[in-house]
Structure 1
Amino acid sequence: MLDIMLPHYGDLRLLRIAVESILAQTDDRWRLTVLDDNPAERGTQIAEYFAGLGHPRVRYRPNRVNLGITRNFQQGVDLASAPFMTLMGCDDVMLPRYVQRVHELIEAHPDAVLVQPGVEVIGGDGGVVKTLADTTKRRVYAPRFAGTVTMAGEDLAVSLLRGNWLYFPSLVWRTEEIKAVGFDPALSVIQDLKLILQLVTRGGALVADDEVVFQYRRHGESLSASTAVTGNRFSEARDFFVAVARRMDEHGWPRAGRAARLRLSSRIHALTMLPAAAKQRSGGSVRVLTRYAFGR
C-alpha cells in the first residue's frame, strides 16, 4: 500500500484533476488523504466534492487552523501508516501507471529510502512545457542514465548540492525513515532538500527511474515562484547552505561541503530572478538577489 498525502492550498479545479488522476491508477494499492489547510476560504464546495466521491480509500481532512506549508507536510508524514508514502502537489497529475511503477521499483530495490520516478513538466493549462529551469536540471545537474539508477552516500549529496534535480511532489519516501527525520518547521521553501540530505547522511539510497509516470505543474503562481521573486527564498537558502556545508565537513564528506559552499545552481537561479524583481521595482529584492548571486 502507498499512502498518497495531498496537502491542499489551491483551487478546486486543479485539485479535482489531481484526485481524478489518482482514481485512474491501474494499480489500486494506494490510499489518498487530502489535507486542506484553509477550508474556510472555499466554503463547503470542496467537502461536498469529496462526500460525493464516496470512495473507501479517499479521505478529506480540513485543518481546524491554518498550519502553513511545512507543518502541513509534517502532518502528512505523521498520519502516514503505509510502508511508503508520497506528498503529492495539489496541482500535479499522476499518470495511470504511477502507483504500479512505484511498486515495481520498490520490489526491485527493497532497501531504497527514496524513489524518483520519471517526470514531465506541464504548464497551467496542462500542456507539456520546456522551461529553462527544468532543461538545466536535466542537462546539467541530473545524472545521465537509461532505465534505473541507484545513488547513495557522498556522491548523491554532491549531486544534489550542485543542483537539486529531484521533483519533490513526485518522490516516494520510506515512511519509517521520513518519520525518523521530519521536516524543519523553520524552513518554508528549501525544507525538502534538507530532509533528503539528512536521509542520505543516515545511509539512505535513492532509486531514480526514467519511465515518465508523473506530471509536475510549473506556473508563476506557486509559493516557490513568488518567494523567489521577492528574494525570501534566497535569504533562507543562504543560511541553509552555510549550515549544510558545516554538517557535511563534520560528517567526513568534504566534496559535499565544497558543493554546499559553492551553491552554484542556487546562485544562477537568483540571477535569473533579477529581471522579474526589477520589473516589480522591488529594490529590497534586487539587493537580496544580487548579494546572494555574487556570494556576499
Structure 2
Amino acid sequence: MTNDELHDHLTRDESRNRERATRTAPPAIDVLLPYYGDLVQLQLAVRSVLSQTMTAFRLVVVDDAYPDSAPAQWLAGVDDPRLTYLRNDVGLGANGNYRRCLELAQAPLLLVMGADDVMLPGHLAAVTELFAAEPAATIVHTGVRVIDEHGQPCRPLADRVKSFYAPSRRTLLRGEDFAVSVLRGNWTYFPSMAWRTGSIRPIGFRPGLDVVQDLALLLDVAAAGGSLLFDPEVSFEYRRHRHQDSTVRAVDGRRFAEEGAFFRREAADLDQRGWPRAARVARWHISSRLNALSVLPKALRIAGVPAARRVGRHVVA
C-alpha cells in the first residue's frame, strides 16, 4: 500500500472510528509515540492509530523538543478525544524520551510506536486478542511488513536476516530460550510490540543505550521471568529509510561500539545467571558482526577511514 493509498483509506475510516470511540470503555492499551522527525510520516503514523478497528486506546504523542511548531499545530487540529500531545521542555534524546513514555502509561497494556511506522487497521485488535489468548505473555509481537520511505514494501539484507531468525509459527518464548532467540539475531521490531504495563514499567529502559535499548529490555524481561508471544500474522508496517538513527549510527561506527560493549557485559551477566547457551551466543554475537561486515564498504565510502576502522574492529572482535 503506497502512502497516498494509505492516506485515503485512513481518512475514510477516521470519522467513523472517532464516533465509535466516544462510546468505548476506558483504554485497554496506551499507544505512546515518541516524536522527533518528519511531519508527513508522523501524520501517517497518527492516522493509522486513530483508524484502528479496536477503539479502546489512548494515543500520546511525546515531542522531544523538535525545533518546529508544525507538528504541534497539526496535532492541535486533530479532533479526537483519544489523542494527547505533550512536548518536552528540553530534548531528552531517544533513550530519555522512551523512558518518559513508559512513565506516562496508564492502561494495562502499552505500545511504544515509531513516529515513522504504520499500524494496519487490525493491529491493536490483534495484540489485545493475543494477550487474552495467552495470559502468561508479558510481550506480544505480531508479524511485520517492512516498507521504504515511500511506503513501498522492501526487504533489505538486515530484514532478510531477521526473518531467518524469527519463529515461523505462533511461539511463546521464555527463560534462556527467550534470551538465546533474540541474542542469536534480534529478529524483533520494537515499535510493533505490545507490553503488559505492570510488568514492563518496573524494569524500564537501561539509561545510556541508544541502539540496543530494545534488546536490553527484552533480556531484562527474560531475566525477570517474563515471556514473549510471537504470531507471524502481519498487522504492522515498519519503515526503513536512510535517515534512521540506527542507520546513521551504523555507518559512522557508533552503533557497533555500543553493541560490542553491550554483548560483552551481557555474556558475563548471563554466565553468572547460569544461562551458558545465552552467554555463548552473546560472547560471539555473530549476526551483529556480520551486519558490521555488510556495512563496512558503505562506512568507508560515506564516513571515511576512521569510521571504517571502528566498524572493522567490531567485525573481528
Please indicate the TM-score interval, normalised by the length of the shorter structure.
Answer: over 0.9
The answer to whether the 8 Å contact 2:293/2:315 transfers is yes
Aligned partner (choices 147, 153, 166) of residue 122 of structure 1: 147
Structure 2 counterpart of 1:47: 72
Aligned partner (choices 63, 75, 79) of residue 88 of structure 2: 63
Aligned partner (choices 193, 216, 220) of residue 194 of structure 1: 216
Structure 2 counterpart of 1:109: 134
Aligned partner (choices 200, 208, 232) of residue 178 of structure 1: 200
Structure 2 counterpart of 1:144: 168
The answer to whether the 8 Å contact 1:151/1:207 transfers is yes
Structure 1 counterpart of 2:114: 89
Alignment of 1:138-287 (within 5 A): 138-139=163-164, 141-145=165-169, 148-287=170-309
The answer to whether the 8 Å contact 2:168/2:232 transfers is no
Shift of 1:118: 1.2
In 2: Cα distance, 1:62 partner to 1:46 partner: 10
In 2: Cα distance, 1:194 partner to 1:154 partner: 14
In 2: Cα distance, 1:229 partner to 1:48 partner: 34
1:36 aligns with 2:63: yes
- Whichever residue aligns with residue 218 of structure 2, its letter is I
Deviations 1:264-296 (A, max 9, x none): 01000100110111112521111111111011x
Q: How many residues align?
A: 290
In 2: Cα distance, 1:30 partner to 1:103 partner: 11
In 1: Cα distance, 2:311 partner to 2:202 partner: 34
The answer to whether the 8 Å contact 2:29/2:110 transfers is yes
SS at match of 1:7: strand
In 2: Cα distance, 1:136 partner to 1:281 partner: 25
SS at match of 2:182: helix
In 1: Cα distance, 2:305 partner to 2:228 partner: 41
Shift of 1:159: 1.1
In structure 1, list runs of 5 or more residues that go unmatched.
Answer: none
The answer to whether the 8 Å contact 1:29/1:99 transfers is no
In 2: Cα distance, 1:224 partner to 1:11 partner: 16
Deviating above 2 A after TM superposition, structure 1's stretches of 4 or more consecutive aligned residues are none
Structure 1 counterpart of 2:16: none
Query: Please, what TM-score do these two structures have when normalized by structure 2?
Result: 0.90
Shift of 1:74: 0.3
SS at match of 2:44: helix
Pairwise CA RMSD: 0.9
SS at match of 1:288: helix
In 1: Cα distance, 2:72 partner to 2:182 partner: 39
Query: Please, what TM-score do these two structures have when normalized by structure 1?
Result: 0.96
In structure 2, list runs of 5 or more residues that go unmatched.
Answer: 1-27
SS at match of 1:271: helix
Sequence identity (%): 45
SS at match of 2:263: helix
Structure 2 counterpart of 1:78: 103
Deviations 1:201-259 (A, max 9, x none): 11111100111110000111000000000000111111100100011111110000000
- Whichever residue aligns with residue 36 of structure 2, its letter is Y
Structure 1 counterpart of 2:13: none
In 2: Cα distance, 1:29 partner to 1:248 partner: 39
Shift of 1:151: 1.0
